[in-house]
Amino acid sequence: MKILVAVKHVPDTEAKIKIAADGVSLDETGVKMIVSPYDEYALEEALKIREARGGEVVVVCAGREAAQASVRQSLAMGADRGVLVQDERFDRADALTRARALAAVARAESPDLILAGKYGVGTDEGQTGPALAEILELPHAAAVSKLEIGDGVFTAHREVEGAIEVLEGRLPALVTCDKGLNEPRYASLKGIMAAKKKPLEVRSLEELGLDPQEVGEETRVVWESMELPPPRQAGRVIAGDPDEAVRTLVKALREEAKVI
């Protein structure tokens, strides 16, 4: 079976983030860029399904030229082919715009299953996967922690408050993946070397029949400003007799913090 895995090129979650001088973008000086961690769960699940059932894993990304690195990383982990819908404005594009670009590739590839992370870290929208499913008119299961694939059908388990929800549907379908679904593998040296020879197709919006203005002027979400959260205040140590310390703590929580 053919599995399409959508990935996003994002800053390393351990990187120290700075706001650029324009106030609406990140200063990426010294920042390592990676495949969004939730997308790694999607890729690992695709590789496991291919190993069990055969077929092909195709990675697709909508991003700028630098996103080729994340596609290559995915190829090094074991994907067979990569497709990059390349446009520098994808960094500011909204979820619907990215979904439209991914949908154009999906129509050309006609996969049996589409996998993606439940959201791309950074924006944390969680909208690209559902929007892609709606555009393609596919069954959709979100934030899945267990996935079973049968002959033309799937069973997806997702955690809800106090229970496990089980969804069943027919393929082709789209599933977004949550932490706990699997443990993503590391790219081996052999895989890294092999990735250099694997196909990576770069497509423009025009080649896919998309209007470039939809990535720029007509995007539905506009970034007006960006700022880091305020620094955390220093902690307060209450010393002395335990009974007196408890009374002081309760008073501070009630009158200063106002949380009780």
Residue 26 within any structural domain of the chain: yes
Q: What is the CATH number of the domain that holds 192?
A: 3.40.50.620
94 touches 221 (CB < 8 A): yes
Residues 40 and 64 in one domain: yes
pLDDT on residue 118:
94
Residues 210 and 242 in one domain: no
Give the β-pairing of 200-203 and 81-86. parallel
Average pLDDT over residues 159-169: 93
pLDDT on residue 219:
67
Residues 198 and 120 in one domain: yes
pLDDT on residue 13:
85
Residue 188 token pair: 């081996």
Residues 57 and 143 in one domain: yes
State how far the Cα of 83 lies from the Cα of 61, in Å rounded to an integer: 6
Q: What is the band of 177 on the pLDDT scale with cuts at 50, 70, 90?
A: very high
pLDDT on residue 218:
62
Which residues are within 8 A (CB) of 65 and not within 5 positions of it... i.e. 6 or more apart? 86, 88
Q: What is the band of 184 on the pLDDT scale with cuts at 50, 70, 90?
A: very high
Residues 87 and 184 in one domain: yes
Domain count, the chain: 2
Residue 55 token pair: 């077929």
Residues 241 and 120 in one domain: no
Residues 258 and 137 in one domain: no
Name residue 166's beta-bridge partners.
Answer: 157
Residue 125 within any structural domain of the chain: yes
Residue 114 within any structural domain of the chain: yes
State how far the Cα of 244 lies from the Cα of 180, in Å rounded to an integer: 45
Residues 150 and 245 in one domain: no
Residues 249 and 148 in one domain: no
pLDDT on residue 46:
98
Residue 111: is the preceding peptide bond cis (ω within 30°)?
no
Q: For the ranges 26-30, 61-65, 172-176, 240-244, which has the lowest average pLDDT?
A: 26-30
Per-residue model confidence as pLDDT tens digits over 201-231: 999 999 998 887 777 666 677 778 888 888 8
Residue 144 within any structural domain of the chain: yes
Residue 58 within any structural domain of the chain: yes
Residues 131 and 194 in one domain: yes
Mean pLDDT of the chain, nearest integer: 91
Residue 17 Ramachandran class (φ > 0 left, ψ -120 to 50 alpha, else beta): beta
State how far the Cα of 64 lies from the Cα of 59, in Å rounded to an integer: 15
Residue 222 within any structural domain of the chain: no
Which residues are within 8 A (CB) of 77 and not within 5 positions of it... i.e. 6 or more apart? 40, 43, 44, 47, 184, 185, 186, 187, 191
Residues 41 and 92 in one domain: yes
Residue 173 within any structural domain of the chain: yes
Per-residue model confidence as pLDDT tens digits over 94-126: 899 899 999 999 999 999 999 999 998 877 888
State how far the Cα of 39 lies from the Cα of 108, in Å rounded to an integer: 21
Residue 225 within any structural domain of the chain: no
pLDDT on residue 135:
96
Name residue 164's beta-bridge partners.
Answer: 159
Q: pLDDT at residue 127 above 80?
A: yes
Q: pLDDT at residue 72 above 70?
A: yes
pLDDT on residue 216:
63
Average pLDDT over residues 16-43: 89
**Domain housing 72:** 2-215
Residues 251 and 154 in one domain: no
